[in-house]
Amino acid sequence: MSEIREFSSQLIVSNPNWLVALLGTQDKYVNLIEENFPVIIANRGEVINISGDNENEVEKVRQVLLNLLQLLERSITPRTMDVMTAIKMAQNNTLEFFITLYDEVVGRAADGKAIRVKNFGQLQYVKAVEKHDVVFGIGPAGTGKTFLAVVLAVQALREGTVKKIILTRPAVEAGENLGFLPGDLKEKVDPYLRPIYDALYTIYGTEQTNRLMERGIIEIAPLAYMRGRTLDDAYVILDEAQNTTIAQMKMFLTRLGFGSKMIINGDKTQIDLPTGVKSGLIDAEFKLNKVRRISFVEFDEFDVVRHPVVADIIRAYSK
């Protein structure tokens, strides 16, 4: 005898051509939703029935499907990423902002495709950067912090609000002792700055990125090379900030000049500093979180935009 489900809700899809796009080929999206919520989804024709033992969970799934329908109404066919984003936002009680994500175009890739925020955490991050000159993005890998920061920097350069982009990170794996490594500066720091290059190549393409670097409009350098400079009219991004010392973080933050913005990204669970050395990121969060002109944006596993299992892995390791 089949289990009786106490609560159910129906959804009518007005356009029959939308059914496969909404439910996924071979019910791919149905399976994804059922894996994340204690519900059963069934459809007969244009009527979708959602049933479960928990009324709140049934309603969350109904709202997920309604939001995905809104994408179809905008001629946007939902992808797995869109469905996962809606699921995560429903679980995190931020689903009301789902459609807003598709209004927030933060830049364009080299192929002309619009780059949009992918979740509520990224939306908060973008809004913080719009309002503040110094923004800290703190959270696990895979939340898009580095990529978004580079996109926003490129957009500012294109709009003429800054004259150059400076991208840096501590080469902690080399102990910042770059003089002891073979090769020129670019060869020395490239292995540590690969994620930044990847973001630039996505937005500008390889050739234009290299041209802008040759002209000094985009500068990529280890943190040690920031010492003694004042950075005016620049968009400055510090990546892997958890691996700065307190002195390095203070040195970096005090480079801020007129007409400039700074974004500092880091993951407090991935500190590679020697034992007994306090992270400059943790210290800065403690000392600066009440400073009015500085914003701190916290990401969590809900904001991970990689394969769904990555969020589960991060959650398991954080326990």
- Catalogue all structural domains in the chain, each as residue range(s) with its CATH number: 7-102 (3.30.1370.10), 106-317 (3.40.50.300)
Pairing of the two strands 7-12 and 47-52: antiparallel
pLDDT of residue 176: 47
Instruction: For residues 272-298, give the mean pLDDT.
Output: 93
Residue 212 pLDDT class (50, 70, 90 cuts):
very high
Q: Is the pLDDT of residue 25 over 80?
A: yes
Q: Residue 185 half-sphere exposure, CB side, CA atoms within 13 Å?
A: 8
Average pLDDT of the segment spanning 239-264: 94
Of all residues in the chain, what percent carry a pLDDT higher than 90? 55
Calculate the average pLDDT of the chain.
86
Rounded Cα distance between 162 and 156, Å, is: 6
Q: How confident is the model at residue 317 (pLDDT cuts 50, 70, 90)?
A: low
pLDDT of res. 181: 47
* pLDDT level of residue 189 (50, 70, 90 thresholds): low
Q: What is the pTM of this model?
A: 0.77
Q: What is the pLDDT of residues 134-178, one digit of tens each?
A: 999 998 888 889 999 999 999 999 999 999 999 998 876 444 444
Instruction: Flag whether pLDDT at 318 surpasses 80.
Output: no
Burial (CB count <10 Å: 0-12, 13-18, 19+), residue 83: buried
Window from 12-21, 154-163, 181-190, 225-234 with minimum mean pLDDT:
181-190
As a whole number, mean pLDDT of residues 240-244 equals 94
Please state the φ and ψ torsions of residue 235, each to the nearest 5 degrees.
-105, 110
pLDDT band of 110, cuts 50, 70, 90: confident
Collect all residues with Cβ–Cβ distance below 8 Å to 43 and sequence separation of at least 6.
Answer: 19, 23, 49
Alpha-carbon torsion (264, 267, 268, 273), positive or negative: negative
Question: What size, in residues, is the chain?
Answer: 319
At residue 260, does pLDDT exceed 90?
Answer: yes
Percent of the chain with pLDDT over 70: 86
Q: Per residue in 41-100, pLDDT tens?
A: 999 888 999 999 999 999 999 999 999 999 999 888 888 888 988 998 999 898 999 998
